[in-house]
């Protein structure tokens, strides 16, 4: 319970301090939107690292050198915990927007940070709005902003991965960017498996080699959702022995 209290207190302080910071970033954004995004990324990355430290997370990262540094990418990963975002976002090397559920808009200060960092909000019940989000994500990638999405569509509480939504891969198909598989093991042991307690946990995060669609066979390109699913599932099973 002590870890939970420490994390909550830190977040309360951070959100209070965020109010004047948002004003400063708003002014910066009037002159340079890229500088606003870069500053937001640095601030939130530090905050997430502090949350990770206070939570007692020991993070093992594998394959970080696989993430291209010279272009925007589409990160796709399995999703088991809120800590998936906390742990992975703190490591992105360039502006990156996560695709999140629209319910996150309920939290004004948090959602403003997300907007600053090019996050997009998806209504799973509205097909038209979902298409607009994907089109915006494609445009962002073409403008050098990486996108991260969890193609299972929701946090998965079971040990078996859910099938991937094919629409998630339109971002790479239409923009031509590489896909970076992002596999996480044991993140749900931090919080979700014993709410409201936060438990000291070893988490493994592995980045796979980038997937370039123009280098795949026609079959793999057609069923890119299954192709990526199998890569992440195989990595997930392999890394069970490390946690």
Query: Which helix (H) or strand (E) covers residue 100, if one does?
Result: strand 96-101
Looking at residue 97, its pLDDT comes to: 94
The phi-psi region of residue 160 (left if phi > 0; otherwise alpha if psi is between -120 and 50; otherwise beta) is beta
Place of tokens 């999140």: 100
Looking at residue 153, its pLDDT comes to: 77
State the residue range of the domain holding 124: 2-242
Looking at residue 20, its pLDDT comes to: 95
CATH number of the domain enclosing 228: 3.40.1130
Query: Hey, which bits of 134-232 come out as E strands?
Result: 146-149, 179-185, 201-207
Looking at residue 233, its pLDDT comes to: 95
The burial class, CB within 10 Å (0-12 / 13-18 / 19+), for 62 is middle
Number of structural domains in the chain: 1
Looking at residue 232, its pLDDT comes to: 96
Looking at residue 149, its pLDDT comes to: 94
Q: What is the pTM of this model?
A: 0.93
- Name the stretches of the chain with pLDDT < 70: 157-158
Give the tokens for residue 155.
Answer: 């946090």
Looking at residue 190, its pLDDT comes to: 94
Looking at residue 63, its pLDDT comes to: 96
């Amino acid at each position: 319970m002590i870890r939970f209290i420490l994390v909550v207190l830190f977040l309360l302080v951070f959100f209070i301090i965020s109010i004047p910071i948002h004003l400063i970033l708003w002014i910066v954004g009037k002159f340079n939107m890229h500088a606003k995004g870069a500053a937001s990324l640095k601030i939130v990355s530090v905050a997430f690292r502090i949350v990770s430290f206070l939570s007692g997370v020991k993070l093992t990262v594998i394959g970080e050198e696989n993430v291209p540094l010279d272009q925007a990418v589409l990160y796709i990963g399995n999703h088991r915990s809120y800590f998936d975002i906390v742990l992975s976002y703190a490591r992105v090397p360039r502006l990156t927007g996560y695709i999140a559920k629209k319910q996150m808009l309920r939290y004004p200060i948090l959602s403003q940070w997300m907007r600053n960092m090019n996050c997009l909000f998806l209504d799973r019940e509205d097909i038209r709005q979902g298409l607009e989000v994907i089109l915006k994500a494609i445009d962002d990638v073409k403008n050098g902003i990486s996108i991260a999405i969890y193609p299972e569509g929701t946090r998965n509480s079971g040990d078996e991965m859910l099938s991937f939504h094919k629409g998630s891969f339109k971002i790479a198909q239409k923009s031509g960017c590489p896909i970076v598989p992002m596999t996480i093991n044991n993140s749900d042991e931090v919080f979700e498996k014993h709410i409201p307690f936060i438990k000291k946990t070893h988490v493994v995060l592995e980045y796979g080699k980038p997937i370039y669609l123009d280098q795949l066979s026609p079959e793999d390109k057609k069923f890119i959702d299954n192709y990526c699913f199998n890569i992440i599932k195989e990595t997930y099973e392999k890394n069970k022995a490390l946690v």
